[in-house]
Amino acid sequence: MMKLNTLVLTGALALCMGLAISTHALAADAKPTPAANVDTDGDGIPDQAEVVLGTDPEDPDTDGDGINDREDPNPTFLENPHAKDGAPAPFVIVKAQVEDNYDFAKKKDAPDHFELLVKNNTPADLVGFSLYYSVTDVKTGKVEAYYKKLGQFAVPGNKEARIHFDTTTPGPARATAAKEAGHFRANPNGSYYKTTNAKKVLFDFKLDGYAPVQATVEKAEGGAETND
């Protein structure tokens, strides 16, 4: 299997090592720093290099395709794994949002992030969801895509529920850290957060055994805001 572009990875590692060396060389008695070697998610790529590569330092499989980032030739993209067939979904996407988010619990604006409001049209609770979403840079045409099974996330019968993908939610590398219900990890080094170009985001939301439901939303130029 082709691995992550060797030249790209080598360059990122060299850059990180160079930064660490230059910073601590200023003091004659400076002790060696382990910062350049910290690898929070254990994927073989130091955290500082993950910033350069655009991968998540808290997730060894940034795009969710089942391949370790260092072994993955394109660690921030996978083809949509969702089958298109199946019975009509028993839910609808009421709203898809990628900016101007609001925290209803705290009653204040929230940092820009990926969010879906989903309505269950049946009396029974729904569980067994997965989400595939792609982010297209309108200016460059570059596409990133991610896939996540949502585990025990449920939409109660005849009610609505919100799903959030944000950078404050801890990744798999911090599995024991507290997580807010309905919140999942987004890649903090992805183009959505790191470039100011306008984006087009496609959500493909699927319940096991049913056809997926899609929603597309655009994000204005300017990058993700920390607090609107």
pLDDT tens-digit profile of 188-217? 999 999 999 999 999 999 999 999 999 999
Half-sphere exposure of 181 (CA within 13 A, CB side): 7
pLDDT score at 39: 97
The whole-angstrom separation of Cα 48 and Cα 31 is 19
Tokens representing residue 116 in the block = 């879906």
- Region 111-140: what's the mean pLDDT? 98
pLDDT score at 12: 67
The whole-angstrom separation of Cα 86 and Cα 156 is 21
pLDDT per residue as tens digits for the range 68-100: 999 999 999 999 999 999 999 999 999 999 999
* pLDDT for 1 beyond 80: no
Sign of CA dihedral 74, 76, 78, 81: positive
pLDDT per residue as tens digits for the range 3-42: 666 666 666 666 665 554 444 444 445 554 556 689 999 9
pLDDT score at 26: 46
Q: The pTM is what? A: 0.87
* pLDDT for 51 beyond 60: yes
Tokens representing residue 11 in the block = 């360059």
Higher pLDDT, 177 or 59: 59
Q: Which of 18, 22, 23 is nearest to 46 (CA)?
A: 18
Mean pLDDT of all residues belonging to the chain: 89
**Residue percentage of the chain with pLDDT more than 90:** 78
